[in-house]
Structure 1
Amino acid sequence: MIKKTLHFILVAGLIFLGGVSPAFSQKVTVLQQGRPSSLRGLSVVDDKIAWVSGSKGYVACTKDAGKTWNWMQIKGFEQSDFRDIEAFSAKEAVVMSSGTPAVILKTLDGGLNWQVRYHNRDTSVFLDAMDFKSKYGCIMGDPINNHFVIFETFDRGATWKQRDVAKTPLARAGEAAFAASGSCLMINTSGLMRNYELALASGGSVANIVYTLSAGKKWFQHVLPLVQGTTSSGAFSVAADGKHWVAVGGDYQHDQRTDSTACYSVDAGKTWKMAKATPAFQSCVEYLSGSKYLATGTSGTNFSKDGGITWKKIDANSFNVCNKAKSGKLVLLAGNNGKIAVFTPPKEYLIPYIKL
């Protein structure tokens, strides 16, 4: 009788405390804004260190989980639009610009000095995104002569080499990638620098996922069930946990549309299904843990706890990119006007079992 009574009290308490659901503490908190830069590059190293990059040559670094930032405008590149950044520590980072000139810079002293690692004034070269796994890094660019452009490094961005066109994937007429968040490119490795999986998400004439499972020796392509057919629509971002992949996008010129904006794959990109509850336009998706994913865009931020099958809007603020710490749990977001925010994930509430 006592056990039954206690059980009733505990259940009643849980019902009364409706706030114990995981969504109760889930929120996005703006840390700062008001800088003259549209931020699209974001790299969170650990629970303290992160870097952002954006337009007008701006980059910034935090060492206290986003509470304060050291802002800098890279001398000589004040007009560059740094659409992506990859950080390894508070001292070491690589930044990439989109537009002309296409440049790749690296710092080893926290941004005091930047070394030019690639520079090209050819207007046909447009860099979209960058990703790293260990010392191996890759940058993708819009197609030239019907082939996506790929640059590679095997020394953490100290030197870069453009991959031979014969070893890069074909692009369809009108197909390109979006330099919206630095996350239309994804690398998975199996331990060896030269043995990796690489996936590109594209849009325009077609919403496509282009990937290799053999370090680029053979490429595969699958059309995604996302809105496509215009220069502003398609797949904008891809993230993965093993064989479970999630892609998001939409039409940025109609960012409140909620049809055909998110899909998922359970077989490493071979087949795709439309999400059952889709968000409005999202330019970035990030894998968090378990089956949890976070996505954001100009329409707001959305959370999925079931591997991207269903999404729930948790914040209405406009952002361009979100990123989780490589080592740690810190999740940050960044957007226009130097806006930076932190994501507080759902918390698990546990009522201890009392044995009588």
Structure 2
Amino acid sequence: MRLKLLLLFSILGGICSTNAQKITILTQHGKESFRGLSVVNDSIAWVSGTHGNVGKSIDHGKTWEWFTISECDKCDFRSIQAFDNNTAIVVAIDTPSFIFKTKDGGKTWNKVWESHTSGMFLDACHFVGKNGYVIGDPVDGQIFTLETMNQGETWKPVQIFAQPQTNEAFFASSASNIVFSKKIAPIAVSGGEHASLFYKKKSYRLPITQGKTSTGANSIVLNNNKLENIAAIIVGGDFMNKESSDSNIVLVKKSFFLNPNVSAFQLSKTPPKGYKSSVTQINNETFIATGTSGTDISNDEGVNWKHISDQPFHVIQSVFKGNWIVLAGPNGIVANLSF
């Protein structure tokens, strides 16, 4: 699905903070919109966005190197997966849709997949090791999904999800609506007139706001805490009504993976402020969600949230138990969140 910056910074390194948390602008690259973000470790991060722009830092965001894929200088790369300093995959959303891979740190890019199919719209990708999936909006009534088992060298279409309902699709707002792990099969969360969680060839209606093309689930993260009660957190809302906190987050209980059913879904006691397009986990109980309504934090596995910044972003990512939390968004801004 296709989707102004509220605060302006007079200089790079402008700060928006509340209490102990601080958001610091690392770089501003023109007026590009960044929705693709991949944090490899505490030193390396890649971002991607409009006009074929891809950026990389290997020094914890102090300096950035920028690339434009010549064949795709008008592409919108809303999804990126980086594996190290040299290797990364970028996904261009539509008309036509492309997947490119670099093995030399962004100097050259090899086209590893393309489609000129009408209606094709690629929303997100996710990797675990060399295995990865790209998910797209429905084509001919079926969720379009690509699979790779060799770190994106080759791709093949697969049907691993149930059929969506009419006017149900996916958001490319932060490229994080599909996730899986070594133990958990791919999960996808949708939006539109209907919002569902897709898992193992079945779909489950989410208690998240829905009913319009601008509503639904945008992002999902699995809980890495082995002792968790909450197994996953899903965020979204209505991007046309960004201040609304009505049913904008769903907590998935651990019991879902033992006996999948909608009774395993619950809403937060204190929800985050407004529409959220991305969520990440930074330690056992702490999660952070962001969107055009700003950024919120939870220290109890998503049950209660506290608003910490009004600065709008599209995507947030960190390495679990790492020391670098990166945000990216409109007006070419990439930022760091610290405590």
Scaled by the length of structure 2, the TM-score of the pair is 0.88
Q: Percent identity?
A: 36
1:338 match: 332
Select which of 323, 345, 348 maps to 2:317. 323
Q: Distance in 2 between matches of 1:261 and 1:27?
A: 24
After the TM superposition, list the runs of 4 or more consecutive aligned residues in structure 1 that deviate by more than 4 angstroms. none
Q: Distance in 2 between matches of 1:65 and 1:268?
A: 38
2:132 match: 137
Question: Does 2:220 correspond to 1:238?
Answer: yes
Select which of 195, 200, 205 maps to 2:193. 205
Q: Distance in 1 between matches of 2:271 and 2:298?
A: 10
Contact map agreement 2:161 2:202 (CA 8 A) in 1 = no
2:4 match: none
Scaled by the length of structure 1, the TM-score of the pair is 0.84
Contact map agreement 1:149 1:168 (CA 8 A) in 2 = no
Question: Does 2:265 correspond to 1:272?
Answer: yes
Deviation at 1:34, TM superposition (A): 4.5
* Root-mean-square deviation over aligned CA pairs: 1.5
| Structure 1: runs of 5 or more not aligned | 1-22, 191-195, 213-218, 346-356
Question: Does 2:219 correspond to 1:226?
Answer: no
Structure with max Cα Rg = 1
Contact map agreement 2:242 2:275 (CA 8 A) in 1 = yes
Contact map agreement 2:123 2:134 (CA 8 A) in 1 = yes
Deviation at 1:329, TM superposition (A): 2.7
Contact map agreement 1:285 1:294 (CA 8 A) in 2 = yes
Contact map agreement 2:283 2:321 (CA 8 A) in 1 = no
Q: Distance in 2 between matches of 1:326 and 1:247?
A: 17
Deviation at 1:258, TM superposition (A): 1.3
Deviation at 1:327, TM superposition (A): 8.0
Contact map agreement 2:281 2:320 (CA 8 A) in 1 = no
Deviation at 1:173, TM superposition (A): 0.7
Deviations 1:157-188 (A, max 9, x none): 1111111x4x4321011100001101011111
Matches within 5 A, 1:59-74: 59-74=54-69
Deviations 1:28-70 (A, max 9, x none): 2221225231000000001100100001000000011111110
Q: Secondary structure at the match of 1:76?
A: helix
Question: Does 2:172 correspond to 1:184?
Answer: no
Q: 1:305 to 1:221 in 2, by over 3 A?
A: same
Paired positions, count: 310
Q: Distance in 2 between matches of 1:326 and 1:55?
A: 28
| Structure 2: runs of 5 or more not aligned | 1-17, 225-229
Contact map agreement 1:301 1:317 (CA 8 A) in 2 = yes
